[in-house]
Structure 1
Amino acid sequence: MPSRIRRRGSGFSLGKFVVAVVVLATFVAVLLLNGVLTAKTSSDAEGHLQRGPDDQVPVAVHDGGSAIDTIHDPVRTLSYPAKTIALTFDDGPDPEWTPQILEVLEKYQVPGTFFVLGSLAAQHPDLVREMRATGSEIGLHTFTHPNLAEASTNRIDRELTLTQLALAGATGEISYLVRPPYSSRSDALTNNEYEVVRELGERGYVTALTDFDSRDWERKGVEVIEKASTPSSDAGGALLLHDAGGDRTQTVAALDRLIPQLQAQGWRFTTVSEGLGLPTANTPADTWDRVFGTILVGAAGVSTYIVRGLEWLLLLVGALVVARLAIMVVVARRHAKQSRLATRSRSGPWFTDPVSVVVPAYNEKECIEHTVRSLVASDHPVEIIVVDDGSTDGTPDIVERLGLPGVRVLRQPNGGKPAALNAGIRAARHEIVVMIDGDTVFEPTTVGTLVQPFVRPEVGAVAGNAKVANRRSLVSRWQHIEYVMGFNLDRRVYDLWRCMTTVPGAVGAFRRSALLEVGGVSDDTLAEDTDLTMALCRAGWRVVYEERARAWTEAPGTLGQLWRQRYRWSYGTIQSMWKHRASVVARGPAGHFGRVGLLNIALFQVVLPLLAPLVDVFLVYGLFFLDPVTTLVAWGGVQLIQLFAAVYAFRLEREKIGVLWLLPFQQIVYRQLMYAVLIQSIMTALAGIRLKWQKLRRTGDFGGAPVERTVGAGL
C-alpha cells in the first residue's frame, strides 16, 4: 500500500456496502446455526417435569407395552419378549462418552439403540456413522430437546424434520423411532404427552418409551446404577441410559459390569425394532433428504470450526486486553513516579529561550480568538504565527483585528494542513517550534512546561497533554474518557519505552533543526502528526511526553462528526505505519522504534480493535445460547478490569471520576463505532482510495477548560 494513495474519494461504494452486508449476514448465520446446534439445553438427566392428569390416556396404552404405535387404528402397544432387553441411550452423541459406550457394546458383541439429538448428530456425524457400523440402530430424540408436550405443531414438525435431515446427512438413512424428551414409561403418560404420541403417529412415527430406568443421571455410583438396571423378573423391556448430558464415567463402568452379568443369566440383548418385532428402524433416505442433510451437516461442521476459531480469538483478545491494561498501569505508574522525582530533584538549567508557535487555521472563526488569546497569555516568551490556509469565513481578519502583540498572520491559498505548518516553520524565528490546532487553547503555563525537555540535546519533539474542553454532550464525554484513559496513558508508556508514535497536533513542540532534517511535515498521509513523529523517531531523535503541558481542544460533538474525524485518523495511522514499515527490520534507534512502537500500534491499535468486537458478539451469543449468568459474569469481569484502569488513569490525570459511570455505555455504543471506523479505514486502504480532508464544524465551546475566563476576557 503506497503512502501516496492513487485515487481520491469518500471510500464508500455500493459494491463495498453489498460485500459488507453479505459478510455480516454470513457471520450472523454462522453464529445462529452454531448457537442452535450447541445451545445449552436441559436433558432427561436434569430432572423430571411435573406430571399432569392422565384421565384421557387409554387403558390399553396405560397398561400396555412401552412402544406405542398410533400410526394405525386402533392404537396398539408393543412389548418385548421375556429375557430380552434393549439397551437405549438418550441425549447423544457425545464425543467423549459415546465412543466409550460403543467400545463396551462391541466388547460384548451386543447392539444398542441410540436416540440422538439432531443438533449433536449434525456436529458429530462420524459418531452417528460409527453407531450404525457397530450394529446399533438410531432413533430420534428431537433436535434441541424441547418438551414436546408444550411445543406447537410447527415446532414438533421442525424438531423432527431437522433431526431426520441430520441423520440422513450423517448416514444416508432416516428412522421411524422417536423418544420424546422427558418421557419415561407408558403408565406415566399424561394427557398432553399422549396427545404428542398421537401426533407422532400421524407423522408415521412409533413412540419408543422405556421399561427400566438406570437412573444414571443421579450419579450415585456404579453399584446403584447396576442395581437399578437389573430386571426384577423375567419380563423383557427397554433400559434407559445416557451417553451425553454430563459425566458418564459411572454409566460406562456400570454397563461394563451389567452386560456380562445379564448374559450369564440368559438375557438376550437386542435393538428396539428387533425386540418389538418391527421392521428395521433405519431405512435409506430419499435423494433430497440426503442432499439437504449433507448441507446441514456440512454447514454444522463449518460453523463449529469457525466458532471454535472465534473462541480461541476471544481468548487471545482477553489475554491482550488484560496484558495491555496491566502493562499500561504498571508502566504509567513508573512514568508518573519518575516524572515527580525529576521535578522535585531538578537542579539543572531551565529552558528560557523564546519559542515560535505555529497555528494552522482553515475556517476557524468560532475558535481562533480563543486560541490566540490563550497563547498571548503564556508565561513563556513566544512569537505567534497564524497561517491562514485559504479560509473563507474571515478567520485571518479576526486575528488581525485583535491587534495582539507578537502575533503575525500569514495568508496562503488553500493547500492543506501540512502546507500551512511548513509555511509556519519556514517563517519561525526561533529554534523551538510549538504547533497547536486552531480549535485548541493553552493554559498560561503550557508553552513553558512543554519546552522544558529541550534542555536535553537529544530531544527532538515533545508531546503535550491534550484534553477535551467541551464535555457537555454524551459523545464528547465519551471522548474525554478515551483521551484520559487511552491517548495520554499510552503516551506515558511510549515515553518510557522511547517509541513515541504520535505528537498530537493539538499540543506538540519540535526542534526546528529536527524538522528540517526529516523534510518538514509531509502530506503523504492524513495523519501528518503521526507520520512526522515516526520520521523523527526513525531519525534517532528522542520524543518525550510532558503530561503537565495541558491543552484543551474541542472534540466532535456528534457521532457523525466523530466518525469523520476518526475515519481520517485511523486511515492516516495505517498509511503512516505502511510508510515507515521498513523500521521494523532496521538497526539502531529506527529499529527500536519499529520493533517496539510500530508493532505495538499494529497489535494494540489495529489487531486488537479488529478482534475486540468478539467480546460484545459473544456477550449477545452467550445470553441467547449459553448460560446467561456465566456470560454476564465474564463480561462484567472485563468491564471491572477496564474500570480499574480508567480510575487509575483519571487519578494520574487528576480528573474527576464521576464521569466513569458512562464507561459501560461507552463499551456498548462508542466502541462499536470505533470498530466500524477502523474496519472501514482498512477496507479503504486496501482498495487504494485516498480520502479528502474533511473540515469538522466547530462551535467554540471550551466550557470544560479552566482557561476560559482568560481567553474570553476580550470577547
Structure 2
Amino acid sequence: MHQHHRHRARLPDPGEAIALNLGIEHITEEFVVRIDADTVIGPRCLETAMRHFANPLVGCVGGIPMPREERTWIDKCRLIEVYMRHGFFQVSLDGYQGVMGIPGMFAIYRRSQLLEVGGIVQGMNGEDTDICMRLAAAGYHSVADPSAVYYSETPASYAHLREQRTRWFRSIYHLTARNRAILFDRQTMIGTFVLPFNLVNAARRAMLAPLLLFATIAGLAFQSTFTTLQWQPIVATLLGMSMIMTVVVCLIWRPSSVKYIPAYLCFRLLRSYFTLASTLSLIYPPMHPHLPRTLLRQKRA
C-alpha cells in the first residue's frame, strides 16, 4: 500500500514559479509531476512518460498537448500546430537529444536534478523551457513522447490568443539572454544547433507579415516601378515546403485534419504578427533565482 500525503503551504508571494519551487522544497518523492489547472492527462499518460526515467540521464519527460475540442477556428489551427510542432519537429529533435523544452502544461522531472540546477526561474517567460536548457547544460536531456497524450484548453478569444502567443514568442529572447553561455556550445546539441535555429526562425517568422504587406503594396500600388515583381515568389514564401510538410504530417497523424490546413496557413500570418509584436514589446525583468555562473559538466556513464 502506498501512503499519499497532502501538504498545504502558504505562499509568501503570488506566482506560479514561486509555488513550484515551494512544492519542490517540501516534497520528498523522487519525481515531480507538473500539471496545469486547465490540463487533463489521457489514459496511461503517466505510465508512458515514466518509463523513460529508466535512463538515469533523462531529466524531464513530456507528451503531446492535444486540444480538448475542435469547435472554434483556434481549436482547429491549434490541432495542426500540435501535429507539426509536437508530433513532428519535437520527435525529430528527440532523435539527437535536441529537445530544448517540455511544455509546463504536463512535465515530469527528477527532483534531485531540479535541485542540482537551481529550481524553477521566477520572473520570465518560458520558465518550463529554461529548466530543460539548464538540465541539458548539466548533462541531462529531455524526452518528448507523443504517445503520452494529454489535453489542454485553447484560447477562447482573440485577445486571449494574442496574450498567450505574446508570452510564448517573447520567451525565446528571455531564454537566450539567460542561457547565453550555452549558445554555440559544442557540448550540447541545444547550444550547437537548436537554440541558434530557433532564434533565426523567430526572426524569420516576425518578418513574414511585414514582407507580405510590402509585397502587396508594391504589387498593387507600384506596378510601374517594380516591373519584375512576380506573384509566384510571394506564394512560395507563404506556402512552399512548409505547406507540403503540413499536409504530409496531417496525413500521418489523422488524414481528416487536412481540411483544417487552409485555416492554419492564415493562422501562420497571424502568428507572424504576434511574433513581431512580442519582439517590439520585449522587457527584461529581474529573474530569481539567479543562474549559477558555471554548471559543472560531468560525463555520466
TM norm. shorter chain > 0.5: yes
Query: What residue identity is the alignment partner of 1:648?
Result: V
1:689, distance to aligned residue in structure 2 (A): 6.2
1:681, distance to aligned residue in structure 2 (A): 2.1
Q: Distance in 2 between matches of 1:621 and 1:667?
A: 21
Distance 1:499 1:472, change over 3 A: same
Q: Within the alignment, does 1:677 sit opposite 2:274 as a pair?
A: yes
Q: Within the alignment, does 1:639 sit opposite 2:239 as a pair?
A: yes
Query: What residue identity is the alignment partner of 1:608?
Result: R
1:9-49 superposed Cα distances (whole Å, 9 cap, x missing partner): xxxxxxxxxxxxxxxxxxxxxxxxxxxxxxxxxxxxxxxxx
Match of 2:262 in 1: 664
Contact 2:104-2:128 at 8 Å conserved across structures: yes
Q: Distance in 1 between matches of 2:187 and 2:232?
A: 47
Distance 1:643 1:459, change over 3 A: same
1:631, distance to aligned residue in structure 2 (A): 0.9
1:580 to 164, 168, 179: 179
Contact 1:449-1:549 at 8 Å conserved across structures: yes
Q: Within the alignment, does 1:508 sit opposite 2:107 as a pair?
A: yes
Q: How many residues align?
A: 282
Match of 1:595 in 2: 192
Query: What residue identity is the alignment partner of 1:673?
Result: L
Matches within 5 A, 1:216-615: 406=4, 408=6, 410-413=8-11, 415-586=14-185, 588-589=187-188, 592-604=189-201, 606-613=202-209
Q: Distance in 2 between matches of 1:651 and 1:430?
A: 41
3-state SS of 1:612 partner = helix
Distance 1:558 1:459, change over 3 A: same
Q: Distance in 2 between matches of 1:682 and 1:636?
A: 25
Contact 1:647-1:657 at 8 Å conserved across structures: no
Q: TM-score, normalised by structure 2?
A: 0.82
Larger relative contact order (Cα-Cα within 8 Å, sequence gap ≥ 6): 2
Q: Distance in 2 between matches of 1:447 and 1:382?
A: 17
Contact 1:619-1:632 at 8 Å conserved across structures: no
Contact 2:33-2:107 at 8 Å conserved across structures: yes
Gaps of 5+ in 1: 1-380, 384-405, 691-715
Distance 1:407 1:563, change over 3 A: farther
3-state SS of 1:408 partner = coil
1:485, distance to aligned residue in structure 2 (A): 1.5
1:673, distance to aligned residue in structure 2 (A): 2.9
Distance 1:640 1:593, change over 3 A: closer
Q: Distance in 2 between matches of 1:556 and 1:382?
A: 38
Distance 1:632 1:457, change over 3 A: same
Distance 1:506 1:618, change over 3 A: same
Match of 2:290 in 1: none
Query: What residue identity is the alignment partner of 1:682?
Result: T
Q: Distance in 1 between matches of 2:25 and 2:209?
A: 45
Query: What residue identity is the alignment partner of 1:644?
Result: I
Gaps of 5+ in 2: 287-301
Query: What residue identity is the alignment partner of 1:481?
Result: I
Q: Distance in 2 between matches of 1:549 and 1:574?
A: 29
1:122-165 superposed Cα distances (whole Å, 9 cap, x missing partner): xxxxxxxxxxxxxxxxxxxxxxxxxxxxxxxxxxxxxxxxxxxx
Query: What residue identity is the alignment partner of 1:609?
Result: R
Contact 2:174-2:284 at 8 Å conserved across structures: no
Q: Distance in 2 between matches of 1:426 and 1:444?
A: 29
1:645, distance to aligned residue in structure 2 (A): 1.0
1:583, distance to aligned residue in structure 2 (A): 0.7
Contact 2:184-2:193 at 8 Å conserved across structures: no
1:623, distance to aligned residue in structure 2 (A): 4.9
Distance 1:419 1:569, change over 3 A: same
Query: What residue identity is the alignment partner of 1:635?
Result: V
Matches within 5 A, 1:66-77: none
1:656-714 superposed Cα distances (whole Å, 9 cap, x missing partner): 433x334334333x2333223222222222x6468xxxxxxxxxxxxxxxxxxxxxxxx
Query: What residue identity is the alignment partner of 1:482?
Result: E
Q: Distance in 2 between matches of 1:439 and 1:676?
A: 26
Query: What residue identity is the alignment partner of 2:246?
Result: A
Contact 2:86-2:146 at 8 Å conserved across structures: no
Distance 1:667 1:549, change over 3 A: same
1:416-450 superposed Cα distances (whole Å, 9 cap, x missing partner): 11112122223334212221111000112100001
Distance 1:662 1:501, change over 3 A: same
3-state SS of 2:18 partner = helix
Identity of paired residues, percent?
A: 24
Distance 1:431 1:688, change over 3 A: closer
1:636, distance to aligned residue in structure 2 (A): 6.0
Q: Within the alignment, does 1:616 sit opposite 2:212 as a pair?
A: yes
Contact 1:462-1:508 at 8 Å conserved across structures: yes
1:539, distance to aligned residue in structure 2 (A): 1.0
Match of 2:293 in 1: none
1:580-599 superposed Cα distances (whole Å, 9 cap, x missing partner): 0111254533xx42121211
Contact 2:52-2:58 at 8 Å conserved across structures: yes
Q: Distance in 2 between matches of 1:482 and 1:408?
A: 37
CA RMSD of aligned residues (A): 3.0
Contact 2:73-2:263 at 8 Å conserved across structures: no
1:579, distance to aligned residue in structure 2 (A): 0.4
Matches within 5 A, 1:101-140: none
1:612, distance to aligned residue in structure 2 (A): 2.2
Q: TM-score, normalised by structure 1?
A: 0.37
1:415, distance to aligned residue in structure 2 (A): 2.1
Distance 1:540 1:632, change over 3 A: same
The structure with more radius of gyration: 1
